[in-house]
Amino acid sequence: MLVIRSLAGSDALLENLSQSDDTRLMFKALNDTTPTRDVGHAGTAMRFLTACFAVRGGPVVLTGSDRLRQRPVGPLVDALRSLGAGIEYPGKEGFPPVRITRKLTRGGEVTVRGDVSSQFISALMMIGPVLEGGLRIRLRGEVVSDTYLRMTLRLMNRCGIEANFAGDLIRIPEQPYRVEPMRVESDWSAASYWYMVAAMLPGSEITLPGLTTDSLQGDSVIMKLFEPLGVKTRPGEEGITLVSEDTRLPERFEQDFTGCPDLVQTCACTLCALGVRFRFTGTRTLRIKETDRIAALQKELSRLGFVLKAGAEGTWIAWEGDRCEPEASPVIGTYHDHRMAMSFAPLAVRFPGMAVRNPMEVTKSYPAFWDHMRQAGFRAEEG
């Protein structure tokens, strides 16, 4: 919504914005006037802003942390260049930082692989309406994270844009954005860690404000994923309440996470703790997140005695009940990844004395996480 508001040239009030690093860095980069904008670890900001500044014009350099410079941006830059944008790589070809020099004004048609990060495609979608002649985005091959593309499209619809996504083609005519004051949804990805807490503590009730069961967000599927684990979702006027009950757990859990890859760590940690064997597919994009999340899960869950297996290309990850000797006082590595910290923290219910290294990585998406854990009754100490 910050990007759409900027493209619209609007100052409409956006309520309930996250206080996360990603949101703060996005806001700062959009409103800064310096020639270089640093977005830290925020891959979403890097990708969305590359497209946004391509139509706003440069010169501007977008850069970030060492890890961000290892995360690809080539498919997006190639698409923007094919339309006429002037974008250069001051460093390694295909990776941040990027220097935007020539303003993009005309649209047309671009072809993008559907199995790359949905952020590349969403970035292109959002600039489509402000390009002369609009934009047609043709997706080649399997489309991953389809739910994020449809969320982007529905937000654009709310802001006056008529566009169509059918088959492998997204059509976005040239037209003006109309941004009205809006209350932004709370984050279902962050809510997933409370589903994890509820699943491990039968009999608990947890109320989460600002969430609705008819959410635009693909990660709201967590409601259905945790029903077999005894967690029911009850809607209310101010948000939702999680009601956790004793239940007979399934012997095995299988799920395709193509549309909700950010839930993999939450679900893997929960199922291991509950002793439920699982096999996840649709996990290939986890190799290029804040860290290689598959390798990170394998290493850190082994500290707790769980042996995970994974396909070489990351297309699947599984736990078949294999165990190893757990560490006596495990210290969980976070790898500059907020979701590693948050998905392992609730495991302290089953592994007292467990510690999480670099706990403030959570500020990337959920700065109040540790305060909320304490509010819920956990003891979280720094040491």
User: Do the domain assignments include residue 383?
Assistant: no
- Residue 214 bears catalytic tag: no
Q: Is the pLDDT of residue 284 over 90?
A: no
Average pLDDT of the chain?
94
Q: pTM for the whole thing?
A: 0.85
What pLDDT digit, counting tens, does each position of 288-342 carry? 776 799 999 999 999 999 999 999 888 999 999 999 999 999 999 999 899 999 9
Give the active site residue among 21, 187, 219, 262.
262
User: Do the domain assignments include residue 241?
Assistant: no
DSSP string, 111-139: EEETTS-HHHHHHHHHHGGGSEEEEEEEE
Q: Do 233 and 240 contact (CB within 8 A), yes or no?
A: yes
Q: Please give the DSSP secondary-structure letter assigned to residue 362.
A: G
Query: What CATH code is carried by the domain that includes residue 363?
Result: 3.65.10.10
Q: 104: which 2 tokens? A: 């993009």
CA distance 78 to 163: 23
- DSSP bridge partners of 88: 99
What pLDDT digit, counting tens, does each position of 147-206 carry? 899 999 999 999 999 999 999 999 999 999 999 999 999 999 999 999 999 999 999 999
CA distance 69 to 287: 15
Q: Do 344 and 269 contact (CB within 8 A), yes or no?
A: yes
Q: Do 42 and 79 belong to one domain?
A: yes
Q: Do 13 and 135 belong to one domain?
A: yes
Q: Do 134 and 255 belong to one domain?
A: no
Please choose, from the candidates 55, 30, 13, the residue with its C-alpha nearest in 3D space to the C-alpha of residue 179: 13
Q: Which domain holds residue 179?
A: 2-183
pLDDT band at 49 (very low <50, low <70, confident <90, very high): very high
Q: Do 101 and 177 belong to one domain?
A: yes
CA distance 174 to 21: 32
Q: Do 40 and 151 belong to one domain?
A: yes
Give how many domains the chain has, as a whole number: 2
281 burial (CB, 10 Å; 0-12 / 13-18 / 19+) is middle
Q: Do 271 and 165 belong to one domain?
A: no
DSSP string, 271-312: HHHHT-EEEEES-GGGGGSSS-HHHHHHHHHHTTTB--EE-T
Q: Do 311 and 335 contact (CB within 8 A), yes or no?
A: no
Q: Do 162 and 196 belong to one domain?
A: no
Length of the chain: 383
Buried b (16+ CB within 10 A) or exposed e, 322-351: eeeeeeeebebbbbbbbbbbbbbbbbbeeb
Report which of residues 71 and 191 the model is more confident about. 191
Q: Is the pLDDT of residue 144 over 90?
A: no
- Which segments within the chain are labelled E, that is strand? 14-15, 36-38, 60-63, 86-88, 98-102, 106-113, 132-140, 164-166, 169-172, 182-183, 205-209, 231-235, 239-244, 252-256, 277-281, 309-310, 316-319, 331-332, 355-356
pLDDT band at 350 (very low <50, low <70, confident <90, very high): very high
